[in-house]
Chains A and B, each alone.
Chain A
């Protein structure tokens, strides 16, 4: 079993590879269509902006290849990697995403005006019995750092939520084989590593 890490030149690949090493999972970096089809699962990491990320991925792999891949094999998007699973985003200009989970990515605003960043450890209320959360405490804390959020009308795709300034933010999403987490499991101590292990063991 090899876990592919999508390397489009903007993610914090290093933290993720360190985490996979720590939980003893074999991994490879995915930089082309050929690399993609050699791995058994795919993780899309993410530091960067929506627009920059989509454009960088396109330069290496046609988006349609990732979409086809996700029908057969599991995909996990982390932070920005989760956001680009959506239909469209507006960070750095309007741009279409992978559209693997219907939804839109918009800035976190308070009272519709001031810019906010959701930064720090927060509790995640998880959908019970989802395999992604095996052996993870109810309401466990994970590390978030984002200023945009995933918004979807499809409630069934939401498998984890968190609360920031009295408002709910989507923390985890799933559509069949595709998962996304807004927080950084590779930066969330033991519970984060457990979540990555759960994904690898799906």
Chain B
């Protein structure tokens, strides 16, 4: 059986890992390569590096991937600031396995079609940042600053049609708050796609991850604060979930 995935997700600003609250007030929390070594040794399911620097320049990300991939025998996703097919190719050449793209796809759905045709749809993750405005879930790009016109659920259906491999949903309202995942949002999204979803925003304790797995079908738990600010690691989380009869990876 396919295992439930727990994915440490790290935001990259120049050469450092940072973490904020509601996509703001980023704090320095560590160095990427040493984190790769730690999470690899704990047999993490996967790892994600998302670029949040203002210039959205992927040069730093490339350097980090190149240095880290040597120690990384698990899948590695990179994202943030991808503007072209060449950017994707460059990041894959540096050791990324999957690429998460947010803004570029929202501006040009054909870019999704083109990139999944070139690299295979399994390689392309559609990143969507969501915030509630007037009781309606809306999509934002540019680190939560720019609202885009699409209706969330229409956009998900469209991206599914245009060749997405997975979705990476970021809940801006819950980001860094450690209040738990917004299950209402994810359950709604699940109605519109059968593709795997990586869900981020709100995980503050192991019970939150358990609830996410218990009440969803094909959703992976992206976690950041829980690792950056808590005494947690993938082995401990898997063992907790296994005791609660959730099917997770061994070890």
Contacts and interface: CB of A to CB of B under 8 A. Distances in A.
B87 to A, nearest CB: 15
Given A49-B119, A147-B121, A121 B2 contact: yes
B133 to A, nearest CB: 30
Interface string B220-245: 10000000000000000000000000
A198 interface: no
B75 A184 contact: yes
B250 interface: yes
Given A114-B194, A163-B1, A189-B43, A10 B73 contact: no
A143 interface: yes
Given A48-B118, A91-B120, A115 B92 contact: no
A31 interface: no
B165 A15 contact: no
Interface string A51-68: 010000000000000000
Contact of A141 (B4, B46, B249): B249
B194 A115 contact: yes
A120 B160 contact: no
A14 B119 contact: no
Interface of A: 10, 12-15, 18-19, 21-22, 47-49, 52, 80, 91-92, 110, 114-123, 141, 143, 145-147, 163-164, 184, 186-190, 192-193
Q: Which 8 A-B residue pairs are closest in the complex by CB-CB distance?
A: A14-B95, A121-B3, A114-B194, A121-B249, A119-B196, A145-B122, A187-B75, A49-B120
Interface of B: 1-5, 40, 43, 45-46, 66, 69-70, 72-75, 92-98, 116-123, 160, 165-166, 194-196, 220, 249-251
